[in-house]
């Protein structure tokens, strides 16, 4: 029996990572997850839980959630945890279309799935904005409808991020690694939270031969991944997409966190960097082989940003430029 953390969130990454490590070290054929203490699950926690449950089911071990509150059970079902992890569950509720405010849990296994998921995340963020009108007339100067350019910029950013997570996670022998992603807008706090988790080789193994900087530990790797261009896949391109991956996903997100006063978690191996605005804190965590990214931004501040300008600033930088390290 394993007790799920009270807060399965990016903000409580240490106990969540410790729980994941303990579960994966178990050899039991049936894994009981006690949910009696859980009071809040965010997209990052949901992605980690999904990655763990899926690995266990693929090892032909059974996962059972016990002592679960009905509201929590309904939320996990609504976010497709059971469906995506192969856990038997009979839905007894009617689904409402929430595409304007959330993206249910999705596992990405193929690169041609990235663009569609990125578009959905972008649409859910823009759709939650109060003045969004998909039927508005295009601006005569730019040709874009209101917030349409914001949506396209967000889609570009998440395409970069998810593409990197998938291709980098599958290095060093982890050819079957997957990426888990989901997002949600919280009306009470007006925050957008997004989680991206992969079960691949981790940043250190991935970047060791792809960086001009010597990487000695997981913290060096996480910090280095925030430099524009370090995680690019220029020789690979994007299957089915128009542009070549430039390795800007994490860099742009990091800049948006600074500009909006948001929060971010970047973790890989036994190292985590948590950022609040432009303040950073490094901490050690129980090792996770892959990469964990948790994003939290105020919706209204995203609306105020010119995302295309932020992305353009990074696009014109040479890959060798080194902004101030964290």
Q: Please give the helix or strand (H or E) that residue 155 lies within, else none.
A: helix 148-169
**So what's the pLDDT on residue 324?**
37
> Is the domain of 282 the same as that of 234?
yes
Residue 93 included in any domain: no
Last residue of a domain, one of 32, 53, 88: 88
What's the CA gap between 30 and 133, in Å, rounded?
49
Q: State which residues of the chain have pLDDT below 70.
A: 128-147, 209-213, 229-249, 314-326
> Is the domain of 27 the same as that of 165?
no
> Is the domain of 79 the same as that of 159?
no
> Is the domain of 254 the same as that of 142?
yes
Domain at 223, CATH number: 3.30.565.10
> Is the domain of 67 the same as that of 29?
yes
> Is the domain of 130 the same as that of 180?
yes
What's the CA gap between 96 and 65, in Å, rounded?
25
117: three-class secondary structure by DSSP: helix
Name the token pair of 166.
């998938």
Range of the domain at 203: 98-326
**So what's the pLDDT on residue 323?**
40
**So what's the pLDDT on residue 321?**
41
| pTM assigned to the model | 0.86
The contacts found for 277-282 with CB under 8 angstroms, 24 or more apart, are 280/326, 282/219, 282/326
Last residue of a domain, one of 88, 120, 154: 88
> Is the domain of 183 the same as that of 294?
yes
Read off the pLDDT of residues 8-29 as tens digits, 9 standing for 90 and up.
999 999 999 999 999 999 999 9
> Is the domain of 183 the same as that of 296?
yes
């Amino acid at each position: 029996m394993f007790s799920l953390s009270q807060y399965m969130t990016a903000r409580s990454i240490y106990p969540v990572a410790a729980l994941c490590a303990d579960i994966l070290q178990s050899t039991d054929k049936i894994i009981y997850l006690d949910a009696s203490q859980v009071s809040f699950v965010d997209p990052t926690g949901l992605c980690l839980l999904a990655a763990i449950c899926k690995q266990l089911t693929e090892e032909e071990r059974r996962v059972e959630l016990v002592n679960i509150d009905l509201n929590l059970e309904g939320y996990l079902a609504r976010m497709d945890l059971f469906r995506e992890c192969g856990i038997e569950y009979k839905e007894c509720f009617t689904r409402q279309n929430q595409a304007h405010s959330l993206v249910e849990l999705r596992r990405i296994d193929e690169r041609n799935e990235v663009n569609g998921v990125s578009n959905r995340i972008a649409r859910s963020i823009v759709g939650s904005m109060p003045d969004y009108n998909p039927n508005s007339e295009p601006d005569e100067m730019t040709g874009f409808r209101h917030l349409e350019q914001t949506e396209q910029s967000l889609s570009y950013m998440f395409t970069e991020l998810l593409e990197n997570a998938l291709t980098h996670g599958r290095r060093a022998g982890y050819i079957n690694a997957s990426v888990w992603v989901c997002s949600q807008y919280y009306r009470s706090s007006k925050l957008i939270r997004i989680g991206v988790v992969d079960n691949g080789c981790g940043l250190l193994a991935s970047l060791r031969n792809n960086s001009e900087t010597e990487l000695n530990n997981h913290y060096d790797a996480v910090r280095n991944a925030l430099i524009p261009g370090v995680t690019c896949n220029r020789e690979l391109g994007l299957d089915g997409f128009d542009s070549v991956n430039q390795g800007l996903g994490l860099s742009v997100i990091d800049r948006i966190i600074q500009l909006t006063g948001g929060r971010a978690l970047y973790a890989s191996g036994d190292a985590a960097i948590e950022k609040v605005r432009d303040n950073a804190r490094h901490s050690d965590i129980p090792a996770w082989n892959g990469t964990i990214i948790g994003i939290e931004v105020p919706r209204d501040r995203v609306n105020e940003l010119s995302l295309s300008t932020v992305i353009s600033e990074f696009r014109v930088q040479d890959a060798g430029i080194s902004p101030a390290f964290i």
